[in-house]
């Protein structure tokens, strides 16, 4: 009788131990890629997190982020009624894409900024003499030509690239309209300009005069002769690299 009782007790203990072991094994999750701990980012000596360098073209923005850079430009080609007798060889500034438009495209491609063409409601003539007459009249009157559109989300930008041609020894008055209609307070501004033999003339001073005091206008201006604008891609990219883009 004692032997039978001892055997029963031993059998019960063995079964209970096996059951406990089985439950412990079932509760332990299998390791998979979804529940493994990700490695912590390495830290620099200063304690800041480090990661792989961002692509230069994104300027540190994540994919899908809206750009904080605006590339706004005024181009004769975007603001003229093209007549049938305009010669594309002798009038490259007024035929598409136009000197300034082409420069703006290269800036936009490199910086990833948003492109905005400054356009007037009353287009300019495509003839040189006729356009000169109107431009001189606007300058004499200190006019502000009406524009077709304004930048709706200007507050989203902290850097603005402004492109323009030197229009008879100064900035186009339509460019000044744009600057006065859009709040550029607390923004970093860079200029790029296509011109003839007059160089930048008084265009930078014209722009500075209408900017808010809080805007930061860089004195590092890119300028190129209109005859060389079409072949200046490397030059403007070098300028952008100097600025950190």
pLDDT tens digit string along 21-64?
443 333 333 333 332 223 223 232 223 232 222 333 333 333 33
CATH of 66-243, one of 3.40.50.720, 3.30.56.10, 3.30.565.10, 3.40.50.360: 3.40.50.360
Provide the CA 45 distance to its chain's centre, in angstroms.
32
Q: Is the pLDDT reported for residue 154 higher than 50?
A: yes
Mean pLDDT of the chain: 77
pLDDT at 9 (0 to 100): 41
CA distance 27 to 188: 59
CA distance 63 to 121: 36
CA distance 58 to 222: 22
Q: Is the pLDDT reported for residue 244 higher than 60?
A: yes
Largest CA distance in the chain: 128
> At a CB cut-off of 8 Å and minimum separation 6, what does 95 contact?
77, 82, 86, 88
CA distance 130 to 66: 41
Q: Is the pLDDT reported for residue 170 higher than 50?
A: yes
Q: What is the pTM of this model?
A: 0.71
pLDDT at 177 (0 to 100): 98
CA distance 206 to 193: 13
pLDDT at 20 (0 to 100): 39
């Amino acid at each position: 009788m004692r032997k039978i009782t001892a055997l029963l007790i031993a059998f019960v203990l063995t079964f209970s131990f096996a059951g406990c072991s089985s439950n412990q094994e079932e509760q332990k999750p299998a390791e998979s890629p979804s529940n493994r701990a990700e490695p912590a980012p390495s830290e620099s000596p200063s304690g800041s997190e480090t990661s792989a360098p961002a692509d230069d073209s994104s300027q540190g923005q994540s994919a899908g982020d809206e750009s904080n850079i605006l590339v706004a430009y005024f181009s004769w080609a975007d603001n003229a009624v093209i007549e049938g007798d305009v010669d594309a060889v002798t009038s490259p500034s007024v035929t598409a894409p136009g000197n300034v438009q082409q420069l703006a495209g290269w800036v936009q491609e490199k910086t990833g900024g948003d492109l905005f063409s400054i356009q007037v409601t009353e287009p300019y003539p495509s003839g040189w003499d006729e356009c000169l007459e109107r431009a001189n009249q606007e300058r004499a009157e200190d006019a502000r030509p009406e524009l077709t559109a304004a930048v709706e989300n200007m507050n989203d930008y902290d850097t603005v690239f402004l492109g323009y041609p030197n229009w008879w020894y100064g900035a186009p008055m339509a460019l000044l309209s744009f600057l006065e209609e859009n709040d550029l307070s607390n923004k970093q501004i860079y200029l790029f300009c296509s011109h003839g033999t007059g160089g930048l003339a008084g265009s930078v001073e014209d722009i500075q005069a209408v900017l808010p005091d809080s805007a930061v206008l860089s004195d590092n201006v890119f300028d190129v002769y209109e005859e060389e604008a079409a072949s200046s891609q490397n030059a403007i990219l070098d300028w952008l690299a100097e600025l950190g883009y």
